Amino acid sequence: MSANWKNRLLEHYRDHARDLPWRVRPGSNRRPDPYHVWLSEVMLQQTTVATVTPRFARFIEKWPEVSDLASASREVLLAEWAGLGYYARARNLHGCAQQVVALGGFPEDEAGLRELPGIGAYTAAAIAAIAFDADSVPIDTNVERVVARIEGIEGPLAETRSEVHDAARALWPKERAGDFAQAMMDLGATICRPKTPRCGECPVSGDCAAFATGAPEAIPAPKVRKARPERRGTAWWIERDGAVWLVRRPAKGMLGGMAALPGSEWTDGAWPEEPEQAVRHVFTHFALTLAIEPRDVPPEGEGWWQPIDRIDEAGLPTLYAKVVEAMTLVS
C-alpha cells in the first residue's frame, strides 16, 4: 500500500464532500458545532441521511441551541421525533442535553462524552474527532466496509469486526482525524457501497486489496440472515365526533413515552388467521402484525381525544400512523 493514499482520500473529500447541514466544509476556518455533530450522529443511528437531513433542519429551527433542547418538554420532543424510530434515542437526547447544559458544554474527549446518556463508543469517537479534532477513531458500518476492503479482510463482519477495528486504528492518521473520518464515511456511502461499488471513481482503488481481487463486492462476506420472529397484537380504534382516543405508552420499553392507540399486549407468534383489518410493521428484531379492532368506549386510564384532521400533531410513531392511515382510508 502506497504511503500517500490517505492524502489522496483527503483531497477527494475536499473536492467531493457531501453537503450536509450539520457539517463544516473541509478547509473552512469554522469549527464544527458540537451540538450539531452530536444531534446528527444520534439521528443517523439506524436511519438514512436522506431521512435525517430535513428532520435535522426542523430540530435546529425549533431548538437552535442545546439549551433550548434541554428545556423542551419530553412529550414535545418525542412528538417531533415521531417517524425516526428507535425512540430510546429521543429520551436519551433529552437527558443528554440537560446534562450538557449542567456541565457548561460538551466534554471534548471520548471518556467524558461516554459519560453522557445515550452516547456509546462510536458516537463519542465521532463527536471527539469531528467537533474537537481529537485523536479518535469513529468506526461506523461504512468505515468497517471500507477498511475491510482496503485491507482484504474477507470474512463476515460479525466474525472479523475486532480485526477490522484494529486495522482501522492502525491506519488512522494522528492529525485531521475528523476530516479523515468524514472522508471514510463519505467514501463508504457514495463509492465503496455494499453492492456495485464504483471503483472507477475511488481515489484509493490502486491501494485496495478487494479491488485487486476483481470482485470487491464480495468483501466483506455477507452475513447469514436469520428469519425475523413474528409477533402479534391488537390496536383499538375508538372514534367519536371526528376524534380518536389516544394514550401514551409506558416510559420504558418499545416506543416508550410515545403517543399511541390503546390495545392489547404484543405476544410472540403470527396470527393463526389473517385479521380482517390489520397493519404490519417490521422492527429491527421482529415483525409485528397489529389487528385493528373498532370499539365504542375508551379503556380505563389516562388518554385524550385527538382530532383526526390534526392527527399529525400527536407525534404518532410509524406503527400507529399506519393504523390511522388504514382506518381513514376506509372511512
- Could you read off the pLDDT of 267-307 as tens digits, one per residue? 999 999 989 999 999 998 899 999 999 999 999 999 999 99
d(CA 254, CA 36): 27
Q: Does the pLDDT of residue 3 top 80, yes or no?
A: no
Q: How far is CA 284 from CA 37, 117, 130, 142, in A?
A: 25, 22, 28, 19
118 and 129 co-located in one domain: yes
- Look at residues 134, 149, 167 and tell me which one is the last residue of a structural domain: 134
Is residue 25 one of the residues assigned to a domain? Answer: no
Is residue 241 one of the residues assigned to a domain? Answer: yes
d(CA 92, CA 38): 12
Is residue 4 one of the residues assigned to a domain? Answer: no
What pLDDT, on the 0 to 100 scale, is given for residue 82? Answer: 87
The predicted-structure confidence for 172-194, as pLDDT tens digits, reads as follows 998 889 999 999 999 999 999 99
What pLDDT, on the 0 to 100 scale, is given for residue 1? Answer: 55
At residue 2 the predicted structure's pLDDT band, cuts being 50, 70 and 90, is low
Catalytic residue among 41, 80, 110, 144: 41
Beta strands 287-295 and 230-240, pairing class: parallel
Containing structural domain, residue 221:
137-225
At residue 64 the predicted structure's pLDDT band, cuts being 50, 70 and 90, is very high
- Look at residues 198, 225, 252 and tell me which one is the last residue of a structural domain: 225
Q: What is the CATH number of the domain that holds 73?
A: 1.10.340.30
How many domains are there within the chain? 3
160 and 214 co-located in one domain: yes
Q: What is the CATH number of the domain that holds 244?
A: 3.90.79.10
The predicted-structure confidence for 222-276, as pLDDT tens digits, reads as follows 887 788 999 999 999 999 999 999 999 988 888 888 899 999 999 999 999 989 9
What pLDDT, on the 0 to 100 scale, is given for residue 330? Answer: 60
What pLDDT, on the 0 to 100 scale, is given for residue 227? Answer: 85
240 and 306 co-located in one domain: yes
What pLDDT, on the 0 to 100 scale, is given for residue 240? Answer: 94
- Look at residues 112, 134, 156 and tell me which one is the last residue of a structural domain: 134
Is residue 267 one of the residues assigned to a domain? Answer: yes
For residue 95, give the amino acid letter: G
Is residue 16 one of the residues assigned to a domain? Answer: no
Residues 143, 200: contact at Cβ < 8 Å?
no
Name 257's Cβ contacts closer than 8 Å, sequence gap at least 6. Answer: 74, 75, 78, 87, 91, 248, 249, 250, 251
Q: What is the CATH number of the domain that holds 203?
A: 1.10.1670.10
Is residue 217 among the annotated active site residues? Answer: no
204 and 235 co-located in one domain: no
217 and 306 co-located in one domain: no
Q: Does the pLDDT of residue 316 top 80, yes or no?
A: yes
188 and 242 co-located in one domain: no
Neighbours of 120 (CB within 10 A): 10
Residues 124, 110: contact at Cβ < 8 Å?
yes
218 and 235 co-located in one domain: no
Is residue 13 one of the residues assigned to a domain? Answer: no
What pLDDT, on the 0 to 100 scale, is given for residue 84? Answer: 86
